[in-house]
Amino acid sequence: MISIEGMEFFSYHGHFKEEQVIGTRFMVDLFIQVDTGRAERSDSLHDTVNYLSVYQTVKQEMEQKSHLLEHVAHRILKAVHARFPDVTDAEVKISKLNPPLGGKIDRVCVTLSSDDIYE
């Protein structure tokens, strides 16, 4: 399991019009299952998933406006599986920081796994 945690983005996701104009901060944690056996022996980046490429894939999806975190999470998982065929399973957690829900709330989160997108 490889995890890339605490990726922070300023994006424009949200149901309310203001959220799509003003934007807010999001945190993304991604866990990917991939066979690391070759990389463990070779110590070569070519034998594993490149973390930078994974980050860039997540970033591209976070830059596209959506109304729902569920939709963003779904797109991230689809993009990861499409771009990195060696990934056998993945889970993504997206946290919207300081959501506009009328009170003090640290974050709201959505977590999806590969199983969720292929049902």
Catalytic positions: 96
Burial of 10 (0-12, 13-18, 19+ CB in 10 A): exposed
Backbone angles phi, psi at 88, to 5 degrees: -90, -25
Q: Shortest CA distance to 27 belongs to which of 5, 3, 1?
A: 5
CA dist 56 and 118 (Å) reads 23
Angle at 70 between CA 64 and CA 75, to 5 degrees: 45
